[in-house]
Amino acid sequence: MRTFALPSVPPAAEEDWLRRGARALWPRAPWVLAGSVPVLAVVVAAGWLSGGHLLVTVPVAGFAGAPALVALAIVAQRLVLDGDLRARDLRTPGWARAVAVVWTATAAVALTLAAFEVYGRTGSAAALAPALAGSVVAAHAVALAPAAVALVLDRPRAPWRNVWVVALLAAARRPVPVLGGWVAAALLGWLALRLQVLLLVVPGVVAVVLVSAAWTALGGLGVTPSRHRTTP
C-alpha cells in the first residue's frame, strides 16, 4: 500500500506560504481574475436558478462549479508554492480527483441541509439525529477540503483514504491555520458583498488564503509540496 512520506521539517525551514501567495497576487492578477470569474458566474447562476433556496443552491453550485473551483485552486496553488503560473500548470493529473474532493464536501453539506429540511417539516426527534450527525460530517468535510485538494493536486496518485487522513491529522495538529483560513474567507466574502466591486477578485484571494492555510497546517506534519519550484 502506498503511503505518504512524512519527513521531519524543522520550523526554521518552513515557508511562509501566505506571504508568497500574497506577493504573487498583483503580478498575476489576470490569472486570478480569469480563475475567479467562472466561480462567481456559477454561484450567481445557481442562486438565480434556485430562487435563493439554499437546499438547491448548494448542490447546484458545488457539483456544477467543481471544475471551476479546482481550476481556481490550481491557480492559487501555483501562486502560493511558486509565486508564478504557466498555462501548462493547469493541465495537472490531479484535476479529476480534486473535483471529487469538492463533490464529496458538497454532498455532505447538501445531505445535511436535506436532513434539516426533513426535521423542519416533521419536527421528529428521529429526523434530528441524522441532521446533527450530518452537521459534524459536513463541517469536517468542508474544513478539510482545502488541504485534501492541495494534496491531490500535488500528489495525484496518493490513496484517497490517506489524503483525508493526512488532512485530518494536519488540522488536528494545527487547527489555527485551518480555522483561520475559513474565518478570513468568510470576512472577505462579507466584504465583497458590501463592496461589490471586489466580487471579481475575492474568489481568487480566498483561494490563495485557503491554500496557504492548508500547506501551513500540512507543514506541521512535515508534509511539504513535492512539485515546489524554487524561485530565483
Sign of CA dihedral 223, 227, 231, 232: positive
Residue 139's pLDDT band (boundaries 50, 70, 90)? very high
Give the residue, 125 or 89, on which the prediction is more confident.
125
pLDDT at 107 over 80: yes
Which residue in 24, 146, 7 sits closest to 82, CA to CA? Answer: 24
pLDDT at 216 over 90: yes
Give pLDDT, residue 228: 53
User: CA-CA distance, 180 to 136, in Å (whole number)?
Assistant: 19
Mean pLDDT along residues 129-154: 95
pLDDT at 204 over 70: yes
User: CA-CA distance, 62 to 64, in Å (whole number)?
Assistant: 6
Give pLDDT, residue 92: 82
Give pLDDT, residue 93: 85
Round the average pLDDT of the chain to a whole number and report it: 87
Residue 118 grid coordinates = 426533513
pLDDT at 97 over 90: yes
Give the residue, 72 or 21, on which the prediction is more confident.
72
pTM above 0.85, yes or no: yes
DSSP string, 78-135: HHHHHS---GGGG--TTHHHHHHHHHHHHHHHHHHHHHHHHHHHH--HHHHHHHHHHH
Mean pLDDT along residues 10-35: 78
Mean pLDDT along residues 186-207: 89
Burial class (CB in 10 A: 0-12, 13-18, 19+), 93: exposed
Percent of the chain with pLDDT over 90: 57
What digits encode the pLDDT tens for the residues 5-16?
A: 544 444 435 678
Residue 73's pLDDT band (boundaries 50, 70, 90)? very high
DSSP state of 226: S
Rounded alpha-carbon distances, angstroms, from residue 228 to 43, 82, 115, 215: 31, 6, 42, 12
Mean pLDDT along residues 128-153: 95
How far is residue 108 CA from its own chain's centroid? 14
3-state helix, strand, coil in the chain (%, to 5): 80, 0, 20
**Is there a contact between 180 and 213 (Cβ–Cβ < 8 Å)?**
yes
Which are the contacts of 41, defined by CB distance < 8 A and separation ≥ 6?
68
pLDDT at 232 over 50: no
What digits encode the pLDDT tens for the residues 166-176?
A: 999 999 999 99
Give the residue, 194 or 108, on which the prediction is more confident.
108
Mean pLDDT along residues 211-218: 94
